[in-house]
Amino acid sequence: MIRHGEKPDSGNGLNALGLQRAQCLRNVFGKSSSYNIGKIMAQMPQSDGSQGRPNATVYPLSQDLGLKIDLSCQRDDSKCVDKVVDNYSGSGNILICWEHKALTDIATALGDNNAPSYPTSTIFGPIQAHTARSQTPRLVRIVQDWITDPVALHSNVRAIRTKHDAGDLVGNGNVKAEEYHQKALSGLKDSSLFISDAFIDGEWIDKEKKFPVYVEPSTDTVLGQVSNCDLADFKKAIASAEKAQGEFYESTTALQRGALLRKWFDLIMANQDDLGTILSLENGKTKAEADGEVAYAASFVSWFAEEATRSYGDTIPSQYPNTTVLTFKEPIGVCGIITPWNFPAAMITRKIAPAFAAGCAVVIKPPSETPYSCAALANLAVRAGIPGKLMQVCPTKDRVAATELCTNPVVKKISFTGSTGVGKMLAKLATGTLKKCSLELGGNAPFIVFEDADLELAAEGAMFCKFR
């Protein structure tokens, strides 16, 4: 996501993307090509309906070669139920701009003497329509490969979540909808972070029964098949966590637990790029947004690494003479963690980092839509030296099995982020064993702008609140 007025070197990841695309072009066109994509700017022009829409335009540094990403509605306004919303989901969102000289130079670099004939003015048009007019078939293929590259889609363009978009951006190119995510996964620096197994009793378990995780729900494109835990798995995980917690708390100091969390933080940040790719694929966020969430998730680990040594007790004046009342804090026990799909990394660390700092074990039911980020974080936690049995990961589509976290007496606390309806149900189930509950339930996140407010500042504030 590019914020209004943001400079290209502000760390949103797009400069790196531009250089990567430029390198791809140089590799294809050979040494004779000097085209470069690198200068990235942001603007907010007004649409015909006088409603602002963000545009991200890539300008060439030295040649008239560029890519324009226009999040505008390509349909008639009469067909837009909501202009702003539909402007984000319209067809033909990626437009490509070539100058005549650039097209001629590229054709020459390819050894094609039939240079396409275009007017000297800049041409804008959807990829399909634009490249279909080209008389250079190889050029058409290169352009489509470049634009439909999965890394570009997840780095520089909004999430593809409608069949309409999938057809325009992927299906009409050379990268098939069911294959583009595989290309992104093959680019992981550490492929062992992409895990489809459950993590129970310190072991990765490949269950025979699985459920699909979709990278493109509208086209039924499956990212992977994930182990589907049953009731017996949850019971085993809870029992293992209870035993692990006693051993962990008794054998470590707060300082040692903080050091382990610090190592985990370092590993998360060292693998930010891979974690961002995995999160982007399963969740649908842009790569820049996903990378931002990974950093946000790591910040919770860093915070509680320091807070581990601050679990202070209290000294309380006594009503009796020659008596002092002391209080000290102990870990509450095994914690059941249930997280939402919209922040698959941040909500995991936000809940389990304080649990580890206090000396608690956790049993996690990650969201069935986005379980891969949780598995990757668990993998890194084990690498950091955190005992594997302290963190049980039980992905499942079985709601009955998941309720074991609320009804099993060994679990002493539930932490849940999600809808109000589900939160009420979990709280009701938890009363049977008097569990403590930390519930962050759904809301409308109101953002109030008064008539005399600076609208540009308000827009920037809203973007800052909702995007990482």
Intra-chain end-to-end CA distance of the chain, in Å: 9
Task: Give phi and psi for 43, each to the nearest 5.
Answer: -140, 165
**Sequence-ordered list of residues with C-beta below 8 angstroms from that of 8, at least 6 positions apart, any chain:** 14, 15, 38, 39, 40, 41
CA–CA separation, 308 and 253 (whole Å): 9
**Sequence-ordered list of residues with C-beta below 8 angstroms from that of 185, at least 6 positions apart, any chain:** 191, 194, 277, 281
CA–CA separation, 246 and 359 (whole Å): 9
Structure tokens at 367: 């969201």
Structure tokens at 206: 């490949």
8 A C-beta contact, residue 141 and residue 106: no
For 464, the 3-state DSSP assignment is helix
Concatenating the DSSP letter of every residue in 259-305 gives: HHHHHHHHHHHHTHHHHHHHHHHHH---HHHHHHHHHHHHHHHHHHH
Give the number of other CB atoms < 10 A from CB of residue 23: 12
CA–CA separation, 308 and 254 (whole Å): 5
CA–CA separation, 357 and 254 (whole Å): 7
CA–CA separation, 147 and 125 (whole Å): 14
CA–CA separation, 334 and 246 (whole Å): 10
8 A C-beta contact, residue 90 and residue 128: no
Task: Give phi and psi for 211, each to the nearest 5.
Answer: -135, 150
Residues 6, 178, 440, 460: which is the catalytic one? 440
Identify the H or E element spanning 417. strand 411-418
8 A C-beta contact, residue 416 and residue 261: no
> How many Å is the maximal CA-CA distance in the chain?
102
CA–CA separation, 60 and 19 (whole Å): 11
CA 203 to mean position of chain CA atoms: 26
440 belongs to the catalytic site: yes
Known catalytic residues are 440
